[in-house]
């Protein structure tokens, strides 16, 4: 089977799963629309809930706090970022985000969140990842460390979740979720591949929400369909065309699949690491059914992105088929 046909087959599978549950989904959607939760509000920013925590629907992504940028083949970009993003710049970005209604940092940057809240009397929350491929003892240690720094939820790191599902180790992913669940915080499962949430649904992995990439491929460095392969972003990928430039395959199929999923969905990489403008990326994600979207932001981008998100999220209420799940 060619790679192009393989991509098409995956999209067909996602759509077929959604179609098979259409009757149930329609009933759920109708009742959910009737009882659709009113957006909670934080300084004008719509919010939802994960567990007991109120989470702004726009979150600030942790990459630009932790010192890493996806830069494709531009070798100087990470150093340029580190030269610019001093601790004071990071504190300023967090201050502006909180003023704009963003109340949660996603994935990495816990030390900065802790410092910001201590130094600047902030109330920023944190959702970090856990590495599900580690030993049970290491997973428990990660969970406890996250709780110590004030995390309000955790999720299984997408790259390792991908590899576990790719290699037929779904039981190991399930074990990691079960370990983390013992500590009474919401636990999500992250992925770049649609096969991961599909496997979670099929095998009744007791996660509370999903973290899944979503972006289109209408930007210059995106691969043409015949070169797109699942797990091409994973360590040891044999795809010679991929160079840190694409993290989502078959966006329409992903949107179709999540129509039938009742758990909340955090859609990440919605700007394809800067290849897509915030207006287009956020509109595509929220109207496509995402409940929350984290975006990496420099200090000078925060105010504009917060204002955009407030308008886009409220407009999405009338343009999305999937009810808000959080």
Give the per-residue pLDDT at 40.
83
Least confident of 11-15, 26-30, 111-115, 286-290: 26-30
Higher pLDDT, 67 or 267: 267
3-class DSSP state of 245: coil
Higher pLDDT, 110 or 125: 125
Q: Is the pTM above the cut of 0.75?
A: yes
Task: Count CB atoms within 10 A of the CB of residue 262.
Answer: 14
Do the domain assignments include residue 101?
Answer: yes
The percent of residues above 90 in pLDDT, for the chain, comes to 69
Do the domain assignments include residue 324?
Answer: no
Do the domain assignments include residue 323?
Answer: no
Q: What digits encode the pLDDT tens for the residues 50-63?
A: 999 999 999 999 77
> Which CATH number belongs to the domain containing residue 20 in this structure?
3.20.20.100
Do the domain assignments include residue 325?
Answer: no
- Are 85 and 300 in contact by the 8 Å Cβ rule? The answer is no
Higher pLDDT, 281 or 65: 281
pLDDT above 80: residue 309:
yes
Give the per-residue pLDDT at 239.
73
pLDDT above 50: residue 10:
no
- pLDDT band per the 50, 70, 90 thresholds, residue 26: very low
3-class DSSP state of 90: helix
Q: Which two tokens stand for residue 24?
A: 């149930």
What is the number of domains present in the chain? 1
Give the per-residue pLDDT at 63.
74
Q: Which two tokens stand for residue 16?
A: 């077929």
Mean pLDDT of 64-84: 77
* Spatial distance between the Cα atoms of 48 and 325, rounded to a whole number of angstroms: 8
Give the per-residue pLDDT at 158.
95
Q: What digits encode the pLDDT tens for the residues 213-254?
A: 999 999 999 999 999 999 998 855 567 888 888 999 999 999
Report CA Rg, the chain: 19
Half-sphere exposure of 35 (CA within 13 A, CB side): 7
Do the domain assignments include residue 322?
Answer: no
Give the per-residue pLDDT at 38.
55
Do the domain assignments include residue 157?
Answer: yes
Give the per-residue pLDDT at 244.
85
Integer distance in angstroms from the first to the last C-alpha of the chain?
A: 39
pLDDT above 60: residue 28:
no
pLDDT above 50: residue 265:
yes
Domain that holds residue 216: 3-37+45-316
Do the domain assignments include residue 210?
Answer: yes
Do the domain assignments include residue 271?
Answer: yes
Q: What digits encode the pLDDT tens for the residues 169-201?
A: 999 999 999 999 999 999 999 999 999 999 999
Higher pLDDT, 33 or 234: 234
Question: Residue-wise over 61-86: b if at least 16 C-beta within 10 A, else e?
Answer: bbbbbbeebbbeeeeeeeeebeeebe
- Among residues 48, 43, 45, the alpha carbon closest in space to that of 322 is found at 48
């Amino acid at each position: 089977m060619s790679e192009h046909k393989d991509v098409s087959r995956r999209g067909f599978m996602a759509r077929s799963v959604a179609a098979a549950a259409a009757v149930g989904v329609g009933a759920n959607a109708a009742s959910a629309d009737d009882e659709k939760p009113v957006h909670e509000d934080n300084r004008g920013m719509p919010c939802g809930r994960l567990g007991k925590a109120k989470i702004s629907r726009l979150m600030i992504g942790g990459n630009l706090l932790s010192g890493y940028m996806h830069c494709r083949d531009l070798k100087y970009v990470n150093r340029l970022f580190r030269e610019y993003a001093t601790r004071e710049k990071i504190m300023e970005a967090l201050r502006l985000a909180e003023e704009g209604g963003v109340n949660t940092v996603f994935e990495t940057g816990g030390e900065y969140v802790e410092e910001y809240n201590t130094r600047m009397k902030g109330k920023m929350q944190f959702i970090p990842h856990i590495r599900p491929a580690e030993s049970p003892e290491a997973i428990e240690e990660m969970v406890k460390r996250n709780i110590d720094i004030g995390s309000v939820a955790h999720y299984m790191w997408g790259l390792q979740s991908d590899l576990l599902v790719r290699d037929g180790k779904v039981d190991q992913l399930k074990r990691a979720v079960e370990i983390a669940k013992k500590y009474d915080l919401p636990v999500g499962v992250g992925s770049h591949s649609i096969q991961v949430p599909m496997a979670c649904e099929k095998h009744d992995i007791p996660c509370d929400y999903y973290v899944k990439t979503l972006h289109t491929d209408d930007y210059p460095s995106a691969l043409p369909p015949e070169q797109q392969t699942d797990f091409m972003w994973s360590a040891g990928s044999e795809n010679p065309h991929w160079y840190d430039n694409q993290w989502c395959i078959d966006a329409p199929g992903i949107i179709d699949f999540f129509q039938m999923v009742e758990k909340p969905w955090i859609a990440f990489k919605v700007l394809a690491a800067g290849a897509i403008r915030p207006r287009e990326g956020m509109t595509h994600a929220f109207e496509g059914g995402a409940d929350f979207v984290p975006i990496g932001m420099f200090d000078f981008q925060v105010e504009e992105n917060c204002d955009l998100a407030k308008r886009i999220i409220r407009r999405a209420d009338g343009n999305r088929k999937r009810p808000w799940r959080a």
